[in-house]
Structure 1
């Protein structure tokens, strides 16, 4: 028989309710009831029970109504917003699920959950029973001792006494003093103004306790000392408010912890619960049933001319948007896919889509290049489970045997569909519709009425997830779709879609349209439910998608001869660098071989090894070479060679080959659902990575030109992320500097170095610029020291001075980290959610990277929103006023336009005005405009 102590396992249910609600998407069951928090709680409780077996357990929730703290301090929790309605609707189901899982529920009137947990922990400790508390609430760290441990199932964090000290900088017995000094913004308990964790830890280390800090208040200098003295009368009250009680009367709800004996799950109740709320995976586990093969079921049903086709996330379908009836979580009971091969069948489908409130449309083509792709077929779906495929350019062996000419001609189909395709009043839905707009444009059709895009809905809901249709279908519909490779093959043996037999083509293509419609019915209600997400989707992502298609189609002229000359020059310089590298190494070698470079640098020349690869070999990556180049010539030569080689292969050699023979221009593709921050990505070619800090990179921009009679105009937001930081943080000094139109780096230098603005040296301004931009990217003292080439202590001093002069920024950073940890995401000014999957988990470095991203993402994301809003506003103006000016590129915070000379003055005057009025921030937006014969001259 084991002598190990028994365990009491307590769950801070009130803490986890909110975290589960915010951490998961807006999941709903077939009746439209929210289920995300329920899902999160069940997951957490099951994991906790597996990880921490216990003889006693309970889930503790706050009771409604006031507690003693409200009587002590009427403003207690005054600023806390009311519980979201969707979460409130999940409380009763959560209680039901918790009981079915075998957890006793403890709710004590007039007593907060923290105090119930504190009291039960004390009771258990007095009887030799250890306690494990599952929570995300820092206040409960004060309970930790050799008998009480905190665990956080969402982050994997375990806090014993050493863990508390490591995390907070003070031992558990000083957490109350620590919280009294810094305050608790969540509960509206003020601390000492401008005193954060660092100062609190320092004071408690120096003076031992809160009483010691208060006794020494007269000798503490500076603004914080004055703030402390002004807060002395309040601190005893703060201490009472943050102290968790351990002597509450719980007798009306639970006699003592012995009443909380572990019970098993009630399988019958769980089965009924999982059925009611649509948790299919758990239901199958509970009943032992397997999921039917949806594809096999679908193929068993016949369609007019083709086999039928139908179809991990426990997320039942919500109600559909656009007036459609509520979506059923199960796959449609009947799958009917048709191959349209006669005029009569086409007319039937035209009547169907003309009367439908929303139609999913998809194209099959000859190429992934949107400017080159030719139409092979069109698929449509107006109701779940019903879709058609209209082949127009197949050349498979089965085509000739069909009635009439085997398939309707492309010209006939497009002319019959033109009126519907170009009707802006007929709402259309697709998956990455920007591509389909290009395809129809290749055939002289202007696709209008673009209402919804499931790729963008997924992107707005969870930018960090995979937005491909196959992935979405599996995750949201529990449906394994047919992949392109399954139809056309892979690699060298892959054939074109136009060679696929019509039955198989219909099976694949009609499924795409059907699934797109079903995904919309699942996701759009979630977008609608959050005002910020709806705004981002409807006012930014959908309209800018149409604008991006026009920008891509406009393309940009390239001076191929200039690039050829530059390529030759780069080749000559690379040869010279190669010879210099041979001389430095004492032998010829392959400058593109990491193995040979490693052999020469580390085995022959005995240079210090900076870091190693995963296999244990010395690394020769760019970071290593940059470090070695500070002291040795060969690494510097290798870096220069690599830089020129990349420019030559990526741009000067490649760009002329990418000119579209039909338009004479280069047409990049803008990835709208790529970067988690909302930034656009540019591919084939990537116009965003052309280096601008080197002469060679800037010369490449000289090859981006305007057609005769026009010029290039560039408009660039000035210091946009710093302005957004000022707006979000509300720091008075930053706001004042921008409002007065000051040089922000000079103003920062004056603050940090304690000099008048006129006395700031160029070196001081350079330091301030690095600090300004570095801190918003989460740069540490080590990073700043490396960047500036100074000692780490000096870098730390500069950072401390910065936060002293800009306290609003420090407050924003700390508050943002906490918010990100609590809800799993941060938001832009416009409501875009930027998810941070590693903020409460992952390794230490990954979690730290997520914390840095939490600080910077709102600024990057807001900047992305602003430039997209600018593109929309500019395009609206150009089209409304009938101008010939064209937007041709978007790069970072810059818009590039091709402007006829007779419109130049108008555009240069109107463009910055539009860009600076798309949103109103607490600081003025500034856009700088330039013009020239090429991009470099204009920039």
Structure 2
């Protein structure tokens, strides 16, 4: 029998939103409702295996029921904006899954479901309805069941006719009479005052329907009950009418329109990746129906070998370096796989590291190799004393350039999108977290071998996509050479003083102790400052500060709440200090101590080259780009970073205002360009233009405001955002931005044109043709569309600045070799490069570093580089 599943979309999405914490993806977009709904949907599909599927939505706030009762659903709270912005993605998700969704003006989702369930039953379908609304129980009948969501998003109770009778003591169609008598507070259906479920069921047991009750009203026992019924007859009949689902609504969708093939699509993979739903992506790996050539990884024959013959290592070949631990720095290799025209081979780690033919092939630059991640493979092999050469194609970097939303995507998913099915994700194969391990037996040979085979098949397909996007140069001349530079930096590491960090920890402990006593004295009592509950009671009950926000568990003491309370009591500043320094100690002092390599005494951070949407590098294990430097205590953390050789110095080179210079170039604003060409302080210049004053009349406050606008413009700041940043009214902020854009017409024109271009193309590009796709640029949802517009303005600037420093790193690495210098590049942090330099090379480094960085790319304005050196990173300022 064919099966139709009908889902009450609004109800399930709302339940998901309130059942899950307010999750967001790496772009800051809220995703909890989408995630909960998707999880529920996948569970339903897996369990019910429907041949037909439809998700029904309400079309608007007004329905035909409001003609009968204008206060129907009155009193409901406005939908939170955090939920509203998720609905467009729910629709996108359904489209990507091939699931029909439908809404009808003046009708509700339950009318759509009621009408379709009736038609489907007449056509011989089995029907399953999924909702959290008990009203739907009136639709239960032969082969029509309701799964009622009881709790959260996955706990359901199934109702057929017998179960409705058992639970309510009435027939399913009697649910409308039940509502007529007892009403429904959630829908603002009044019913008869004083009648609850128990009384209503008793009356219906005796009289069957609401009409039956009034036809035999004299038989009702109980004077008060009878009185209530008599006084509210019209209301009871009206309540029954509006609780009745219309099973003959004028829908334009048929049962056959709801056919469901359960085929995952590349669009679905892209969307789930964009939303950050990695666990759901893993479930879909290998399930794509876009199989271009009918290829399946399961068909690959993998040959385990104890050693390689030279004939088995032909070129080009694909190389997979298996790794269990995501932190690949210490060379925890689980095995090797090679695939080429002669076959696909697997060799165990120890045998591979001893095999001379294999080691020669790895280090031979004339023998081309396709790899998944060249940096990862190169660093892992460096720890084993082997230099990887001859990498001709990096699959991870290629897919990332084609679409940054594929950042970090497992090879199984990348392959599935391009017609190579049947691969298993690493997480599915090895396990997750503490349970991650290499399975026993020969399973890993097949897993790594199929990955190597997939790399060979992917290369021409990815190369074709790169050519279409005009991005080959970006891969071969920028990202792949940069991967080699980064692998060298990661392996080299930076010397870190345990003693300095311990001393800082002790100093922070002393400071925290003083702040703690200050807080107790101000509060007049000792309490757990880290307990939001206890802190809330002190602030809002004992000290009587105004309540800003409440949570389910009490008062909110989040950072944004405390910021709004600043100035109302001296305790607030001390609490903020306490939190900031506490985080500094735990995250940076104690955190850095944990990641110093016991053998080298260095920190070997991992640079994420294919992660951010803008192309900027980020770092993990540890994140050295996030050390707070606004606080002096934070800046002092840099004292722990030292040269690894005696008599050497830490040398720092920092681009000055690179993003504003890129803006001047891209926007082609003559006035902005001239300010940089003349070497003016750009914030002073902006203050002069915006406030209409001479240079000597610019006050520090004017300059601060101008600086906020300069950097805010880059990020598409709104009048509200600027007003919050610099503490002025929204009206003044709007006037400020308007004056700025009038002063720099090129910038205004750029902002307008780039958004127009993004709407037309669906993406924006950097100076070097790096792309960022903006699927929401034409969204009907204001918040979603506005975020995409700001991203369109910002990405070409921030992404181009990222490209510039990457070019500088490649050119700097080359120059160090040409000059035969001992100096080493250690770190890249935002717009800053850090080197360790022998004292006798300081003079030449002061000359060549600004020269190389300043000429990394040709812009219409000069690139300014500030250099300094000292005995620690802190001193190099």
Give the alignment's TM-score, normalised by structure 2.
0.65
Q: What does residue 481 of structure 1 align with?
A: 423
Instruction: Please give the alpha-carbon distance, in whole angstroms, between the structure 2 residues aligned to 1:445 and 1:374.
Output: 14
Instruction: Please give the alpha-carbon distance, in whole angstroms, between the structure 1 residues aligned to 2:435 and 2:623.
Output: 29
The answer (yes or no) to whether the contact 2:298–2:450 under 8 Å persists in 1 is no
Q: Deviations over 1:721-748 (max 9, x none)?
A: 1111111111111011112111111111
Q: Structure 1's 611 and 883: CA in aligned 2 closer, same or farther, altered over 3 A?
A: same
The answer (yes or no) to whether the contact 1:312–1:476 under 8 Å persists in 2 is no
Q: Deviations over 1:354-405 (max 9, x none)?
A: 2x33x21112246443332243321111259x52210134xxxxxxxxxxxx
Of stretches 862-871 and 756-765 in structure 1, the one that deviates more from structure 2 is: 756-765
Q: What does residue 351 of structure 1 align with?
A: 311
Q: Deviations over 1:525-582 (max 9, x none)?
A: 1012222x22221221111111101111111111221211111010111122222222
Q: Structure 1's 438 and 842: CA in aligned 2 closer, same or farther, altered over 3 A?
A: farther
1:234-273 pair list within 5 angstroms: none
Offset of residue 620 of structure 1: 2.3
Q: What does residue 172 of structure 1 align with?
A: none
Offset of residue 603 of structure 1: 4.2
SS in 2 for 1:440: helix
The answer (yes or no) to whether the contact 1:578–1:641 under 8 Å persists in 2 is yes
Instruction: Please give the alpha-carbon distance, in whole angstroms, between the structure 1 residues aligned to 2:785 and 2:554.
Output: 27
Q: What does residue 690 of structure 2 align with?
A: 752
Q: Structure 1's 599 and 908: CA in aligned 2 closer, same or farther, altered over 3 A?
A: same
Which of 556, 575, 581 aligns to 1:644? It is 581
Q: What does residue 937 of structure 1 align with?
A: 875
Q: What does residue 334 of structure 2 align with?
A: 376
Of stretches 786-795 and 678-687 in structure 1, the one that deviates more from structure 2 is: 786-795
1:209-358 pair list within 5 angstroms: 317=292, 328=293, 330-331=295-296, 334-341=299-306, 343=307, 346-347=308-309, 350-354=310-314, 356-357=315-316
SS in 2 for 1:830: coil
Instruction: Please give the alpha-carbon distance, in whole angstroms, between the structure 2 residues aligned to 1:825 and 1:608.
Output: 45
1:8-157 pair list within 5 angstroms: none
Q: Structure 1's 792 and 331: CA in aligned 2 closer, same or farther, altered over 3 A?
A: same
The answer (yes or no) to whether the contact 2:287–2:422 under 8 Å persists in 1 is no
Instruction: Please give the alpha-carbon distance, in whole angstroms, between the structure 2 residues aligned to 1:312 and 1:582.
Output: 59
2:451 equivalent to 1:512: yes
The answer (yes or no) to whether the contact 1:362–1:430 under 8 Å persists in 2 is yes
Q: Structure 1's 475 and 763: CA in aligned 2 closer, same or farther, altered over 3 A?
A: same
SS in 2 for 1:888: strand
Q: What does residue 414 of structure 2 align with?
A: 472
Q: Structure 1's 338 and 575: CA in aligned 2 closer, same or farther, altered over 3 A?
A: same
Q: Structure 1's 626 and 487: CA in aligned 2 closer, same or farther, altered over 3 A?
A: same
Of stretches 546-555 and 820-829 in structure 1, the one that deviates more from structure 2 is: 820-829
2:349 equivalent to 1:392: yes
The answer (yes or no) to whether the contact 2:324–2:436 under 8 Å persists in 1 is no
Q: What does residue 625 of structure 1 align with?
A: 562
Q: Structure 1's 891 and 332: CA in aligned 2 closer, same or farther, altered over 3 A?
A: closer
Offset of residue 704 of structure 1: 1.1
Q: Deviations over 1:325-375 (max 9, x none)?
A: xxx35337942111113x4xx21xx41332x33x21112246443332243
Offset of residue 716 of structure 1: 0.7
Offset of residue 491 of structure 1: 4.9
SS in 2 for 1:682: strand
SS in 2 for 1:659: coil
Q: Deviations over 1:422-467 (max 9, x none)?
A: 1112121111221111121122111001221111111101112352
The answer (yes or no) to whether the contact 1:367–1:373 under 8 Å persists in 2 is no
Q: Deviations over 1:837-875 (max 9, x none)?
A: 332337432322222121111111011101111110011
Offset of residue 316 of structure 1: 5.8
SS in 1 for 2:303: strand
The answer (yes or no) to whether the contact 1:487–1:504 under 8 Å persists in 2 is no
Q: What does residue 854 of structure 1 align with?
A: 792
The answer (yes or no) to whether the contact 1:473–1:480 under 8 Å persists in 2 is no
Q: Structure 1's 470 and 575: CA in aligned 2 closer, same or farther, altered over 3 A?
A: farther
Instruction: Please give the alpha-carbon distance, in whole angstroms, between the structure 1 residues aligned to 2:265 and 2:664.
Output: 47
Which of 661, 673, 686 aligns to 1:723? It is 661
2:469 equivalent to 1:530: yes
The answer (yes or no) to whether the contact 2:688–2:695 under 8 Å persists in 1 is yes
The answer (yes or no) to whether the contact 1:477–1:519 under 8 Å persists in 2 is no
Instruction: Please give the alpha-carbon distance, in whole angstroms, between the structure 1 residues aligned to 2:656 and 2:398.
Output: 31
Which of 566, 572, 584 aligns to 1:635? It is 572
Which of 373, 376, 384 aligns to 1:435? It is 376
Q: Deviations over 1:739-777 (max 9, x none)?
A: 211111111111111122233222222221111111211
Q: What does residue 674 of structure 1 align with?
A: 611
Q: Structure 1's 489 and 684: CA in aligned 2 closer, same or farther, altered over 3 A?
A: closer
Q: What does residue 298 of structure 1 align with?
A: none
Offset of residue 605 of structure 1: 3.5
Q: What does residue 387 of structure 2 align with?
A: 446
Instruction: Please give the alpha-carbon distance, in whole angstroms, between the structure 2 residues aligned to 1:534 and 1:315.
Output: 25
2:550 equivalent to 1:592: no
What residue ranges of structure 2 are gaps of 5+ in the alignment?
1-52, 60-251, 267-284
Which of 646, 649, 671 aligns to 1:711? It is 649
SS in 2 for 1:364: strand
Q: Structure 1's 831 and 561: CA in aligned 2 closer, same or farther, altered over 3 A?
A: same
SS in 1 for 2:357: helix
Offset of residue 593 of structure 1: 2.4
Q: Deviations over 1:87-142 (max 9, x none)?
A: xxxxxxxxxxxxxxxxxxxxxxxxxxxxxxxxxxxxxxxxxxxxxxxxxxxxxxxx
Instruction: Please give the alpha-carbon distance, in whole angstroms, between the structure 1 residues aligned to 2:385 and 2:513.
Output: 49
Offset of residue 641 of structure 1: 1.0
Offset of residue 631 of structure 1: 2.2
2:808 equivalent to 1:867: no
Q: What does residue 251 of structure 1 align with?
A: none
The answer (yes or no) to whether the contact 1:715–1:929 under 8 Å persists in 2 is yes
The answer (yes or no) to whether the contact 1:869–1:918 under 8 Å persists in 2 is yes
Instruction: Please give the alpha-carbon distance, in whole angstroms, between the structure 2 residues aligned to 1:933 and 1:471.
Output: 47
1:524-603 pair list within 5 angstroms: 524-531=463-470, 533-603=471-541
Instruction: Please give the alpha-carbon distance, in whole angstroms, between the structure 2 residues aligned to 1:373 and 1:366.
Output: 10
1:166-185 pair list within 5 angstroms: none
Offset of residue 486 of structure 1: 4.4
Instruction: Please give the alpha-carbon distance, in whole angstroms, between the structure 2 residues aligned to 1:374 and 1:282.
Output: 35
Q: Structure 1's 523 and 598: CA in aligned 2 closer, same or farther, altered over 3 A?
A: farther
Instruction: Please give the alpha-carbon distance, in whole angstroms, between the structure 1 residues aligned to 2:723 and 2:253.
Output: 57
Q: Structure 1's 845 and 523: CA in aligned 2 closer, same or farther, altered over 3 A?
A: same
Instruction: Please give the alpha-carbon distance, in whole angstroms, between the structure 2 residues aligned to 1:857 and 1:364.
Output: 34
SS in 2 for 1:923: coil
SS in 2 for 1:897: strand
Instruction: Please give the alpha-carbon distance, in whole angstroms, between the structure 2 residues aligned to 1:436 and 1:752.
Output: 52
Offset of residue 509 of structure 1: 1.5
Offset of residue 502 of structure 1: 4.0
SS in 1 for 2:835: strand
Instruction: Please give the alpha-carbon distance, in whole angstroms, between the structure 2 residues aligned to 1:684 and 1:932.
Output: 25
Instruction: Please give the alpha-carbon distance, in whole angstroms, between the structure 1 residues aligned to 2:550 and 2:764.
Output: 35
Give the alignment's TM-score, normalised by structure 1.
0.61
Q: What does residue 125 of structure 1 align with?
A: none
